[in-house]
């Protein structure tokens, strides 16, 4: 089975986020593979190990994203594709990945349920729409038997179990697989695995970020003596206005 | 132990001196330590048990012979990669790093450097995967800093040798499958050889009741008329330069490793100082705490720069034994001082297993002594700069 895994890089979770003017300040920021994409990649590798086939990692980004593509190769992807363009918005990114998927006939396209920076949750479903194939988002389990694909999705108070067919686009959330740490053999073999750079297909970005705002600073903590519940109620009622 | 929240200090942006592959190797080892070592290491130390289940993972992250060529099962990586792996392992625990150091520098290195092609092919691939573990026998009860005085000996008898003597303070010995042993021949020349578990007269009693490196297994090697086939003798080295070559490689790894322990102590102390409120504000705001923390990060940064430069020299085969001695001595001493200062910042909590400080501090008391003591390394520097030998 030919599997395409969408990889995006995001700031490390310990990064202090700051902006210079209206631009994200990337100086000194360490970028990592989006954790949900790592889950998708790991499940793709598991499927390849049991069913055979190949796993291709794809990203839309400039050369500075190649280190994380190499990491995807070190984790076990067979080859990688970088579409040489800034990832301007979800539509543009989806158009690039759909274009590659169409030309190469992938049976399964996997993405993370969202990137942990912009949290858009859009790219996967857009790719599916562009390819005119089914989409299942936020899957915590994905099993392939022949042409049949069974997926679990967490829903309020439980989970639903869905069935679909290949070709399919799905997005992964926690539970689908346990991300793997690259081992030394993988890192060594990643040196020589193919990493193809493609120029972007014609597509417009449909959205643009106008501005960024930091969340309001945390207010000072007000301590209420334990023996004065009346004061607590009064503050919750009149000041916080939550009761 | 509480959750591992480690964030590596990089005050001078030294990551920019590393290649993407270096960073991938380092980050993979770091992630592995967070996932596999940190959750179990405190209990392993408290119980004085070597976590043997980690061996497979250690092999996987490249801790066993990363710089040994690929055709012998090694990683074919450079010396900076080796250093970075040691740094991350010791960030977890010096005992875990010690196991890896011994396997790489004291067992695989001499087999690769001094061994025959047959010895390389027989041992190295299995040592690289951790299927076989090795140990290194040089130190004796009466000969530590003075290994040239060793009494362990081999005598030729027909087509084999007979080995007698005893070694002590041997990391990995209780479970090792093979031992690289240094012994004098009948002419008093030091020779290296491989002793295999199961050879008659070879035993490895464990050393108990250590207050340091408790998650590492230490023991003795006792040889009572052990028959050693001639093909187990290293053909390509004679004299003290054999074991000293191994120690150079191991000391280089320790120079990187000890900084890992220092980084962990600093990181823990910095976080604790921001969270711990006394006199109505975080203790990080007090000048005496800031002095401790500022001194720590200064010393860590200096040591990081030193080992990086040493790594560059070693990659070019230009690092001298004296330069390696200086870095080993500096890194370990720096780490030990930082552990002590970090313990102060943690107050009473610093002595508990909730934090890694006391474990690192006790471990480092071994690290500052093994592979050349703090004082001996100073004398090596002294001899190097003056040309005068102060050892005897």
Contact A183 B75 (CB under 8 A): no
3-state SS, residue A130: helix
Nearest CA in chain B to A73: B24
* C-alpha–C-alpha distance, residues B165 and B145, integer Å: 18
Nearest CB to A182 within list B28, B66, B70 = B28
Contact B70 A188 (CB under 8 A): yes
Number of structural domains found in chain A = 1
Tens of pLDDT along B173-222?
Answer: 999 999 999 999 999 999 999 999 999 999 999 999 999 999 999 999 99
Flag whether A242 is in a domain. Answer: no
- Averaged pLDDT for residues B260-282: 97
Nearest CA in chain A to B13: A28
Question: How many other CB atoms are found less than 10 A from the CB of residue B324?
Answer: 26
- Quick check: A47 pLDDT over 90? yes
Nearest CB to B75 within list A67, A70, A188 = A188
Which tops the pLDDT comparison, B3 or B352? B352
- Quick check: A64 pLDDT over 80? yes
Question: How many other CB atoms are found less than 10 A from the CB of residue A103?
Answer: 10
Contact A184 B75 (CB under 8 A): yes
- Averaged pLDDT for residues B233-238: 97
* C-alpha–C-alpha distance, residues A176 and B351, integer Å: 40
Tens of pLDDT along B286-333?
Answer: 999 999 999 999 999 999 999 999 999 999 999 999 999 999 999 999
Tens of pLDDT along A181-238?
Answer: 999 999 999 999 999 999 999 999 999 888 888 888 877 788 899 999 999 999 999 9
Closest by Cα among B374, B386, B133, B111 to B258:
B374
Nearest CA in chain A to B31: A181
Flag whether A228 is in a domain. Answer: no
Query: What is the SS3 assignment for chain B?
Result: CCCCCCCCCCCCCHHHHCCHHHHHHHHHHHHHHHHHHHHHHHHHHHHCCCCHHHHHHHHHCCCCCCCCCHHHCCCCCCHHHHHHHHHHHHHHCHHHHHHHHHHHHHHHHHHHHHCCHHHHHHHHHHHHHCCCCEEEECCECCECCCHHHCCCEEEEECCEEEEEEEEEEEECCCCCCEEEEEEECCCCCEEEEEEECCCCCEECCECCCCCCCCCCCEEEEEEEEEEEEHHHECCCCCCCHHHHHHHHHHHHHHHHHHHHHHHHHHHHHHHHHHHCEECCEEHHHCHHHHHHHHHHHHHHHHHHHHHHHHHHHHHCCCCCHHHHHHHHHHHHHHHHHHHHHHHHHCHHHHHCCCCCHHHHHHHHHHHCCCCCCHHHHHHHHHHHHHCCCCCC
Flag whether A232 is in a domain. Answer: no
Which 27-66 residues of chain B touch chain A by CB within 8 A?
28, 31-32, 35, 60-62, 66
Tens of pLDDT along B335-392?
Answer: 999 999 999 999 999 999 999 999 999 999 999 999 999 999 999 999 999 999 998 7
Nearest CA in chain B to A12: B7
Q: Give pLDDT, residue A212.
A: 86
Q: Give pLDDT, residue B392.
A: 79
Flag whether A217 is in a domain. Answer: no
- Averaged pLDDT for residues B11-25: 95
Flag whether A231 is in a domain. Answer: no
The CATH number given to whatever domain includes residue A65 is 3.40.50.620
Nearest CB to A182 within list B13, B24, B35 = B24
3-state SS, residue A56: strand
Q: Whole-number mean pLDDT of chain A? A: 94
Closest by Cα among B259, B229, B252, B241 to B10:
B259
- Quick check: B2 pLDDT over 80? no
- Averaged pLDDT for residues A39-43: 98
Nearest CB to A181 within list B23, B31, B70 = B31
Q: ipTM greater than 0.85, yes or no?
A: yes
Closest-CA distance of chain A to residue B302, Å: 20
Contact A182 B62 (CB under 8 A): no
pTM, full prediction: 0.92
Flag whether A10 is in a domain. Answer: yes
- Averaged pLDDT for residues B91-96: 98
Structure tokens at A50: 């049991």
Domains and CATH numbers, chain B: 14-129 (1.10.540.10), 134-232 (2.40.110.10), 241-386 (1.20.140.10)
Catalytic center residues of B: 371
Q: Give pLDDT, residue B111.
A: 98
Q: Give pLDDT, residue B1.
A: 67
Tell me if B38 sits within 8 A of B1, measured CB to CB: yes
Flag whether A239 is in a domain. Answer: no
Q: Is the sign of the CA dihedral B92, B93, B98, B99 positive or negative? A: negative
Tens of pLDDT along A132-145?
Answer: 999 999 999 999 99
Give the rounded distance of the alpha carbon of A75 from its chain centre.
Answer: 16
Contact A184 B77 (CB under 8 A): yes
Contact A184 B32 (CB under 8 A): no
Closest-CA distance of chain A to residue B35, Å: 10
Q: Give pLDDT, residue A25.
A: 87
- Averaged pLDDT for residues B35-57: 97
- Averaged pLDDT for residues B215-236: 97
Structural domain span for residue A188: 2-212
Flag whether A218 is in a domain. Answer: no
Closest by Cα among B170, B146, B165 to B154:
B165
Crossing angle, helix A123-131 and helix A90-104, to 10 degrees? 40
């Amino acid at each position: 089975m030919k599997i395409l895994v969408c990889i995006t890089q995001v700031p490390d979770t310990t990064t202090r986020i700051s902006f210079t003017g209206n631009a994200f300040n990337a100086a000194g920021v360490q970028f990592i593979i989006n954790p949900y994409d790592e889950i998708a990649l790991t499940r793709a590798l598991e499927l390849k190990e049991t069913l055979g086939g190949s796993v291709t990692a794809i990203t839309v980004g400039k050369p500075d994203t190649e280190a994380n593509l190499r990491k995807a190769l070190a984790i076990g992807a067979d080859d990688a594709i970088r579409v040489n363009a800034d990832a301007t918005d979800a539509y543009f990114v989806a158009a690039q990945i759909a274009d590659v998927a169409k030309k190469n006939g992938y049976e399964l396209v996997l993405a993370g349920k969202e990137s942990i920076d912009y949290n858009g949750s859009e790219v996967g479903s857009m790719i599916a729409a562009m390819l005119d194939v089914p989409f299942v988002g936020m899957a915590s389990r994905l099993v392939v038997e022949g042409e049949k694909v069974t997926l679990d999705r967490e829903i309020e108070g439980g989970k639903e179990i869905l069935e679909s067919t290949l070709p399919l686009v799905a997005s992964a959330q926690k539970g689908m697989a346990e991300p793997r740490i690259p081992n030394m053999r993988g890192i060594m073999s990643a040196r020589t695995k193919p990493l193809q750079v493609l120029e972007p297909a014609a597509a417009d970005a449909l959205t643009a970020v106008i501005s960024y705002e930091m969340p309001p600073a945390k207010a000072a903590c007000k301590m209420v003596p334990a023996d004065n519940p009346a004061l607590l109620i009064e503050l919750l009622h009149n000041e916080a206005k939550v009761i | 132990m509480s959750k591992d929240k480690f964030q590596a200090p990089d005050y001078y942006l030294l990551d920019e001196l590393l290649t993407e592959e270096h960073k991938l190797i380092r980050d993979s080892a770091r992630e592995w330590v967070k996932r596999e070592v940190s959750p179990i290491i405190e209990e392993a130390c408290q119980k004085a048990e070597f976590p043997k289940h980690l061996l497979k993972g250690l092999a996987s992250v490249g801790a066993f012979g990363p710089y040994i060529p690929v055709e012998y099962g090694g990683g074919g990586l450079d010396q900076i990669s080796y250093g970075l792996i040691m740094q991350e392992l010791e960030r977890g625990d010096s005992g875990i790093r010690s196991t890896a150091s011994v396997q790489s520098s004291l067992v695989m290195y001499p087999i690769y450097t001094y061994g025959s092609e047959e010895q390389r092919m027989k041992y190295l691939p299995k040592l690289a995967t951790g299927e076989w573990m090795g140990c290194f026998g040089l130190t004796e009860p009466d000969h530590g800093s003075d290994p040239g005085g060793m009494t362990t000996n081999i005598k030729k008898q027909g087509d084999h040798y007979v080995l007698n003597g005893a070694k002590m303070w041997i990391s990995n010995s209780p479970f090792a499958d093979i031992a690289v042993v240094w012994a004098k021949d009948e002419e008093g020349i030091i020779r290296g050889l491989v002793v295999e578990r199961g050879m008659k007269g070879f035993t490895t009693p464990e050393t108990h009741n250590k207050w340091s490196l408790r998650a590492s297994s230490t023991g003795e090697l006792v040889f009572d008329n052990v028959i050693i086939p001639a093909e187990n003798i290293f053909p390509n080295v004679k004299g003290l330069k054999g074991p000293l070559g191994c120690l150079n490689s191991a000391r280089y790894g320790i120079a990187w490793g000890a900084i890992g322990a220092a980084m962990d102590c600093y990181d823990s102390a910095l976080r604790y100082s921001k969270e711990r409120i006394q006199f109505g504000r975080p203790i990080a705001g007090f000048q005496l705490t800031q002095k401790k923390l500022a001194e720590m990060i200064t010393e860590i940064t200096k040591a990081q720069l030193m080992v990086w430069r040493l790594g560059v020299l070693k990659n070019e085969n230009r690092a001298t034994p004296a330069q390696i001695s200086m870095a080993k001595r500096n890194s370990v001493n720096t780490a030990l001082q930082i552990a002590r200062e970090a313990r102060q910042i943690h107050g009473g909590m610093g002595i508990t297993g909730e934090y890694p400080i006391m474990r690192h501090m006790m471990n480092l008391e071994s690290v500052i002594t093994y592979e050349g003591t703090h004082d001996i390394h100073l004398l090596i520097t002294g001899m190097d700069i003056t040309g005068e030998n102060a050892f005897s």
